Amino acid sequence: MGKPLGKVLIIDDNEDVLLAAKMLLKKHADLVQVEQNPGKIPFLLNNDKYDVILLDMNFTKDTATGKEGYHWLEQILEIDPNAVVIMITAYGDVETAVKSLKAGATDFVLKPWQNEKLIATLTAAVKLRKSYDQVQTLKEENTNLATALSKGSDTAQIIGESDAMKSVFNLVHKVAQTDANVLILGENGTGKEVIARAIHNASLRKEKVFIGVDMGSITESLFESELFGHKKGAFTDAKEDRAGRFEVANSGTLFLDEIGNLSMALQSKLLTVLQKREVTRVGANKATPIDIRLICATNMPLYEMVEKNEFRQDLVYRINTVEIHLPPLRERASDIPSLALYFLQIFSKKYRKETKRISSAALKKLEKYHWPGNVRELQHAIERAIIMSEGDTLEPVDFMFLIEKNDDQEVDFSEYDLETVEKMMIQKAISKHAGNISKAAKSLGLTRASLYRRLEKHGL
């Protein structure tokens, strides 16, 4: 749209009116489409989009009821609910005007019109149309987002057969029915976010949004604006009003990840908002009430931090109404086979290697490993093995990068026989090259095939 009025459609049975309007408006509009026959309205609207429509109230000679105008107004709004329609009437009285506004018209003008007033009315109407369109786009984005989010959660399964995970699921089920604040504690990659989403998806808020915030990645200076929002002009980069995560999450669930990383100053700010249950955007003087289910998570020892005065005790009390401890993967090795098979399924589909299986020796090896990166590390290990392996079955050799790192330790080779030294050298090379067999072979002066033979020989 170049000119301020964009595309204008005028429907009036009086040819003189159409001509006068066209002459007046063509300077201000990209297109002025005029039509005497209202019966053409559906055709016109189905073939083009108008920024504003001027519609006569009466078409049949000597009628002044405005009924025809209402009829066509309804038709227009049915085809384009966001249409802004300005009624034209020569017999204007307040009653007709009010009725047309009630029926969905945006405004009305009396014939004969004053040129400047008509242009001002149309300009205001076009602005309104733009904001309707923006709202419509936002609504559509919102629906798409909600669909995408719920799809993600439908397809993502939570795997766990160990007793430890069964009691976690039990707790999730119980707490989901309430609005209680939840604190999830566990090492990196144990599935804290997965559990937070599961609580949301099983709760009464499941149709609303789930907003996650990584507190570890928000800088001190942006904390308030990110979480509580800002008014336009509150600081140099605040080009327009913006809602913070608390407002966006309103009526849904807010997940604050890595809460243990917050400085003391930011902890106080957060506590104030949680106590008052309202946020004030930076630069604003009015607070907005918020209704959220709060879930926090951390891998830090929050209670030890309280003892050391590194974390506010009152904030812990505010967020830990229910606590969920996610055990590290090494303490629930019985979950490893089902997790491995689950990831095998996902990634073989993703990389179109659907015939892949995993050997029992490989599974045993996975069960023995101590998984410092927990489920996330297992997930990456399977993904990588699927990409790299050439056969149909994942073997222990496909998980070489799981060898524990002892690179830095000095080893006295004189204490070992040749076989053992060879094994150690191979382990070291593979670990150094993060499981990349080609690179490890090269650094050992071997071909890939002969490195594989040696791996087999040493049962690696």
Ligand X SMILES: Nc1ncnc2c1ncn2[C@@H]1O[C@H](COP(=O)(O)OP(=O)(O)OP(=O)(O)O)[C@@H](O)[C@H]1O
Piece of 63-71, 189-197, 199-207, 450-458 that binds ligand X (CB under 6 A): 189-197
Contact between 375 and ligand X by CB under 6 A: the answer reads yes
Tokens of 92: 């204007």
Residue 106 phi, psi (nearest 5): -85, -35
d(CA 362, CA 459): 11
The CB-of-194 to ligand X minimum distance in angstroms stands at 4
Smallest separation (angstroms) from ligand X to the CB of 290: 24
Q: Which stretch binds ligand X (CB under 6 A): 183-191, 353-361, 424-432, 452-460?
A: 183-191
Give the residue with the Cβ less far from ligand X, 190 or 427. Answer: 190
Show contacts with ligand X in window 244-263 (CB under 6 A).
257
Cα–Cα distance list, 324 to 163, 297, 364 (Å): 14, 9, 29
Min. distance of Cβ 176 from ligand X in angstroms?
16
Cis peptide before 112 (omega within 30 of 0): yes
Of residues 283-302, which lie at the interface with ligand X (CB under 6 A)?
299
Helix (H) or strand (E) holding 319: helix 313-319
Contact region for ligand X (CB under 6 A) — 142-150, 230-238, 371-379, 437-445? 371-379
Task: Find the Cα–Cα–Cα–Cα dihedral 53, 56, 60, 63, rounded to 10°.
Answer: 150
Please, what is the minimum distance in Å from the beta carbon of residue 45 to ligand X?
A: 47
Query: Can you spell out the DSSP letters for 344-376?
Result: HHHHHHHTT-TT-EE-HHHHHHHHHS--TTHHH
Instruction: Check binding of 376 to ligand X (CB under 6 A).
Output: yes
Contact between 153 and ligand X per CB under 6 A: no
Cβ 358 to ligand X shortest distance, Å: 16
**Minimum separation from the CB atom of position 196 to ligand X (A):** 8
Give, as ranges, the residues between 90 and 109 that touch ligand X (CB under 6 A). none
In angstroms, give the least distance from the CB of 186 to ligand X: 6
* Nearest to 37, CA basis, from 19, 53, 60: 60
* Least distance CB 328 / ligand X (angstroms): 10
Q: Residue 213's beta-bridge partner residues? A: 256
When asked if residue 189 is in the footprint of ligand X (CB under 6 A), the reply is yes
Return the number of the residue (215 or 455) whose C-beta is nearest ligand X: 215
Q: Which amino acid is at 234?
A: A
Per-residue 3-state assignment (H helix, E strand, C coil) for 129-159: HHHHHHHHHHHHHHHHHHHHHHHHHHHCCCC
Q: Establish if 159 lies at the interface with ligand X (CB under 6 A).
A: yes
Asked if residue 188 binds ligand X (CB under 6 A), the reply is: yes
Please count the residues of this chain forming the interface with ligand X, following the rule CB under 6 A: 16
Closest to ligand X by CB, 107 vs 193, is: 193
Q: Which residues contact 87 (CB under 8 A, 6 or more apart)?
A: 55, 56, 57, 66, 69, 73, 97, 100, 105, 107, 108, 109
Candidate residues 44, 194, 271, 341; the one interacting with ligand X per rule CB under 6 A:
194
The length of the chain, given as a count of residues: 460
Other beta carbons within 10 angstroms of residue 263's beta carbon come to: 11
Nearest residue to ligand X on Cβ basis: 191
Can residue 278 be called a binding residue for ligand X (CB under 6 A)?
no
Residue nearer to ligand X on the CB measure, 38 or 191? 191
Tokens of 419: 């076989």
**What residues pair up with 86 in beta bridges, in sequence order?**
54, 107
| Among 99, 192, 200, 332, contact with ligand X (rule: CB under 6 A) | 192
How far, in Å, CA of 314 to CA of 202, rounded? 28
User: What are the two backbone dihedrals, phi and then psi, of residue 96, each rounded to the nearest 5 degrees?
Assistant: -60, -45
In the block, which residue shows the tokens 């979480």?
Answer: 227
Asked if 191 interacts with ligand X (CB under 6 A), we say yes
179 counts as binding ligand X under rule CB under 6 A: no
Q: Which segment (53-61, 70-78, 191-199, 382-390) binds ligand X by CB under 6 A?
A: 191-199
> Contact between 89 and ligand X (CB under 6 A)?
no
**66, 186, 244, 260: which one binds ligand X (CB under 6 A):** 186
Collapsing DSSP to helix, strand or coil, 71 comes out as helix
Q: How far is CA 241 from CA 172, 231, 248, 291, 344, in A?
A: 37, 4, 13, 21, 46
- Our CB check for ligand X shows the closer of 158 and 287 to be 158
Q: In terms of CB distance, is 89 or 379 closer to ligand X?
A: 379
Name the site residues for ligand X (rule: CB under 6 A): 158-160, 186, 188-194, 257, 299, 375-376, 379
